[in-house]
Structure 1
């Protein structure tokens, strides 16, 4: 006489049956098995179920669970594929992936074997397109970085060139100033300015030459220690020459400009008249 089945025994039988069926629906739902192997496994499971006293509706439940998992897996694969397709626009060819996605879109009504096949294909194509897109993005980022570096280098080179040009200009200005501050340079400047600005011919410059030779010897740094008169024209005080330029103390041209203007605006009117007055009284 057989012993009646206990509740613990029924639970153990059910768990064993579930383990058998779970082997069929693992991962993507029968992905690793062929259709013939699957049918054979289902038949074997049915025999085992009958020997253990399980009902067919219980088997149907587990099969449905496997199909549900497979279709859910297809839905997730579709979502990921759509994201990758969007990211690949204008970068890589996603035609094959789009075609697979289009076919898999009907996963809810397709045969389960077809869903499994399309899902696996979609995942493989998604990974391929994603990798190609990432490579395109990497190359583009490197190109952008190189362009930015080149632009920065060009800007730095331009700034350096401008600085060099400014330095050269300043050096030229200083060289010109040194030349203009020399006695010969000052004389040449005065002759030119007297003719171009006031129309004074060579006879007037001759008087100017003798006048300022007496006053300062054409030395822009000349200083009368007793009176404080300064510069080539011996302005008193020297700061008067600021009206011709802030560099009056160091620039012979500024001093000459002020001195010529002073002679023209004074009662002398011309260098020869100023020279005559200087010869008469000792100053002008």
Structure 2
């Protein structure tokens, strides 16, 4: 006889929806028991305690903060598993990693600047060793999902950060000093070159002024600007000093000792117009025009006296 058909089996209850897992930047938070067990195991294996984790001396606020908080956080894990505490530990680890990236980038830039300058930096290395820092940062990244391990690892990062920052600052200081020395040397060289240029220009101007043409041009300007003497007076002056010296600033009368373009007697009288009276036609002319103005009133007056007595 055929068996009666059995009633349909009840449908299996639907599996309960899994509770929504909070999204985090890091791995899922550990339970309080797991945290406590991991923490105690870490302490037993490493001997690490909050008190044993040093705060890097001289570290900047950006890198010192994570270490300080991490140290107190690890001790607190034996009493609490408050999610906010884990979040803080992770935040501090993230801050240390960001500081690492910045420190490594700055070290590379300072190295590149030093090499590109081609300057002598003196004694000391021209590179910054970031190997230990990058290794320590990699360990933090590896254990980012295990909050109890992060404080110690973050502390190591901070210690190496301080070393890298110190080395980078030292290299930059040496590079800056070399740049300053170069700037000072360039400035000194530029000043010396300018002084040389001015000296050469002055020598060229003096040489031009000491020619007959240069001496007469200067005498015409001074006669007009300082004494108001025009072309007629200047003609008398040209005739007078053509006779006396030929407008030669080196003229010397061995018989009388008269010297220079105006034939001053003695020549040292012209020192009242300038210490360079022996080498400068301009100084001799300044003295000679002053002498003519005082003694004869004008070049034509001096020229008339010279014609009458053969001297002036």
TM-score (norm 2): 0.60
Paired residue secondary structure (1:31): helix
* Cα distance in 2 between the residues matched to 1:183 and 1:169: 23
Aligned counterpart in structure 2 of residue 100 of structure 1, from 51, 70, 74: 70
CA-to-aligned-CA distance 1:49-108 (integer Å, 9 cap, x gap): xxxxxxxxxxxxxxxxxxxxx6xx747624xx23x0x42114x5344322222235679x
Instruction: Kindly report which structure 2 residues correspond to 1:1-284, keeping only aligned pairs within 5 A, or say none.
Output: 31-32=44-45, 74=49, 77-78=52-53, 81-82=54-55, 84=56, 86-90=57-61, 92-103=62-73, 122-266=151-295, 268-284=296-312
CA-to-aligned-CA distance 1:237-267 (integer Å, 9 cap, x gap): 111101100000000000000000011111x
- Is the deviation greater in 156-165 or in 177-186? 156-165
Distance change (3 Å), C-alpha of 1:94 and 1:214 = same
Contact 2:248-2:261 within 8 A present in 1 as well = yes
Residue 160 of structure 1 and its aligned partner are, at CA, apart by: 1.2
Structure 2 unpaired stretches of 5+ = 1-40, 80-146
Paired residue secondary structure (1:134): helix
Return the structure number with greater relative CO, CA threshold 8 A, min gap 6.
2
CA RMSD of aligned residues (A): 2.8
Contact 1:233-1:255 within 8 A present in 2 as well = yes
Residue 151 of structure 1 and its aligned partner are, at CA, apart by: 2.1
Residue 140 of structure 1 and its aligned partner are, at CA, apart by: 2.2
CA-to-aligned-CA distance 1:23-65 (integer Å, 9 cap, x gap): xxxxx997239xxxxxxxxxxxxxxxxxxxxxxxxxxxxxxxx
Contact 1:211-1:278 within 8 A present in 2 as well = yes
Structure whose alpha-carbon radius of gyration is higher: 1
Residue 127 of structure 1 and its aligned partner are, at CA, apart by: 2.3
The structure carrying a bigger helix percent of its residues is 1
* Cα distance in 2 between the residues matched to 1:237 and 1:102: 99
Distance change (3 Å), C-alpha of 1:122 and 1:29 = closer
Residue 195 of structure 1 and its aligned partner are, at CA, apart by: 0.6
Contact 2:249-2:281 within 8 A present in 1 as well = yes
Contact 2:271-2:277 within 8 A present in 1 as well = yes
* Cα distance in 2 between the residues matched to 1:174 and 1:29: 86
Distance change (3 Å), C-alpha of 1:29 and 1:89 = closer
